[in-house]
Amino acid sequence: VNIVKIGGNIVDNEDALHLFLSTIAQQSPCIIVHGGGKVATEIANKLGVESVMVEGRRITDKNTLEIATMVYGGLINKKIVAILQSFNTNAIGMTGADANCIVAKKRPVKDIDYGYVGDIELVHTEFLISCLKQNITPVMASLTHDKKGSLLNTNADTIAAQIAMAIAKTENTRLVYCFEKNGVLADANDNKSVIRTLNAQTYNELLLSGAIHKGMKPKLENAFLAKKSGVHKVFICHADSVHQPEQGTEIL
């Protein structure tokens, strides 16, 4: 089973999104996980809802959760599904609430109150696998739920990793993080400096030396966790290379 996560920069760009989905259509059925991009912030601004970010994470108050639900779960999710259908790839848009796929717990308040942000507790894979067997590609927005009636905002990289980990228990699984760079770079300013393979030890060394960009940390920690937890193959690559992720970085 292929699990592919696409980043906000692809989602934001109509042409890049079409190109990406036309490639993905040839690998379907697979599981797609998508984040939000700038649209949510733009719409929040227009609606007069302020976006507060702490350490790269959006603080999700009630209004922000509604906007995330509209934009991630509605606008972007359904746009992806409609485009895939035009390529004759059957797809179904979902959040973690749908078919009870991803149950999360509202993050406990410590130093920061993240608001309606969910830490994943459980991934139910039966429905996802049933879709794949029906040749249907699940398209998952970065939302989970608490089983008590509330949706929760959850990082898309984390969702992709947790789905892959849950599916890896029964299926051969490949997780591919697609974004706008060619892979994990030894020099953040040189898109040709792709690190072909990266293991946990080298990662920690490169992180300490400051070679790896800090912004890559959450994605890489998810990638290493997935690999350590039984996901068979994990890659980080450019969206244009989704059909041959070996051109990016393989996580070992």
Give the footprint of a copy of itself on this chain (CB under 8 A). Answer: 43, 46-48, 66, 69-75, 77-79, 81-83, 85-86, 90-95, 97-100, 126-127, 130, 134, 136, 143, 145, 147-151
Shortest Å, Cβ 44 to a copy of itself? 11
243 close to 27: Cβ distance less than 8 angstroms: yes
Shortest Å, Cβ 4 to a copy of itself? 18
DSSP codes of every residue in 66-124 = HHHHHIIIIIIHHHHHHHHHHTT--EEEE-TTGGG-EEEEEPPPSSS--BSBEEEEEE-
What is the Cα–Cα distance from 95 to 231, expressed in whole angstroms?
22
Shortest Å, Cβ 43 to a copy of itself? 7
Shortest Å, Cβ 33 to a copy of itself? 16
Nearest Cα neighbor of 65 from 87, 20, 97 is 97
Q: How far is CA 211 from the centre of its chain?
A: 24
Shortest Å, Cβ 80 to a copy of itself? 10
In the numeric block, the tokens 């051969």 are attached to 172
**Beta bridge mates, 92:** 138
The CA angle 96-99-103, to the nearest 5 degrees, is 40
- Classify strands 249-251 and 233-238 as parallel, antiparallel or unpaired: antiparallel
| CB closer to a copy of itself out of 153 and 249 | 153
Shortest Å, Cβ 225 to a copy of itself? 26
